[in-house]
Amino acid sequence: MGFIDENGYPLINEEQKVRIALSDRAKLTMAEDMNVFGTSKDATFINLVFNNFRSAAKSSISLYLQQRELELDRLFTGTELDAISKKTAINQLLAIEKQEAQNRITDYINSKAKGKIYHINDSNVKYLLEDCDEEQYYSRPGLYLRSVIEEYCALPFIKRERIYRKDIYETIEQACQARNILKIKANYYGKDQLFYVYPYKIVPDPFHTQSYLVCYSRKAEEEDKDKIVASFSMARIAAPTKLAKTFHLNKQEIADIETQLSRYSPAYLIGAPEQIKVRLTKKGKQSYNTRLYSRPEKIESLSTDDIYVFDCTQHQIYNYFFPFGADAEIISPDDLRNRFINSLSKALSQYK
């Protein structure tokens, strides 16, 4: 058991350094995630991902096949197969998946990816030397580590985020279940502020690219009665504190959240929706028709050929239309128009 040679010596040196040869694709994804999650050291990132993902990854072949056998057994329960036929079918399916995993390992061995030395922390070393059974599939721990990291990097961001921020997700999910108030620090319009949060649930945006905590929230200096429907990006929540104090959302409050979720992306629940008018050039209209992510839906009955009318938050309009530059002009409300003027003027001043 564990990565130990035939003489009982560990296959990880005393300095706990392991060479891992990652693909260029994995390195690029890793760099992007490190930037998003604010992690500066490669080894810190790799250790956290491996610790959080190893038990669920298909790359943990021994664990995966064991769990897969249980799943297949439940799947075939109630079918007309007799016990022997059922066992044969399960074994054949497992053999296929096992072979696919072994082929993937062979590809790693034959790849010409350049390896890099990483320090593996005490917790992961202990697992690799004492607790895991993957040595029967991987000749050295570096291959196993690579396989887990490559599998992580092949996942869409919304799943990688759930893995990397596992502790934060679990804290928030527990608070949603037990109705505990959370204390969260967040950057709101360029200023770090403290919020008391009454969590409802974690939901993905319409394109399943990111997850958001949908909730009621209030600033620390406000009272319970001041709480409003809000959302926090799960990628940006840092170290939420689960308080012992609990809360209760009544039927009307829950209905208000669900109504907003049915109309707006969870990314844009902060701020009251209002009617907003935007004039678009020909190019602006072409961009609006092709840029689907976070796009506000125009009100057809109130819109004209050049002026589109929306019922949404200013935050959504700002994030969506600011990259349009001169191809989108905010007509109303005035405070949003002035925000665009100030932001664009500030950007222009850098070139004067």
pLDDT one-digit tens code per residue, 154-177: 999 999 999 999 999 999 999 999
The domain locations on the chain are 17-155, 165-250, 274-349
The Cα–Cα gap between 135 and 133 comes to 6
* Contact predicate 144/138, CB 8 Å: yes
For the chain, which ranges sit under pLDDT 50? none
Question: Is the pTM higher than 0.75?
Answer: yes
3-state secondary structure of 112: coil
The Cα–Cα gap between 97 and 316 comes to 44
In the prediction, which pLDDT does 207 show? 85
Strands (E), the chain: 17-20, 116-119, 180-188, 191-204, 211-219, 228-233, 238-246, 274-280, 307-312, 328-332
pLDDT one-digit tens code per residue, 209-247: 889 999 999 999 999 899 999 999 898 888 899 999 999
CA distances (Å), origin 181, targets 129, 224, 239: 40, 11, 14
In the prediction, which pLDDT does 189 show? 64
The Cα–Cα gap between 30 and 112 comes to 19
For residue 292, which of 327, 328, 265, 253 has the smallest C-alpha distance? 265
In the prediction, which pLDDT does 190 show? 67
Give the residues across from 192 on adjacent strands: 187
In the prediction, which pLDDT does 284 show? 95
Give every CB contact of residue 219 below 8 A, 6+ residues apart in sequence: 193, 194, 195, 196, 226
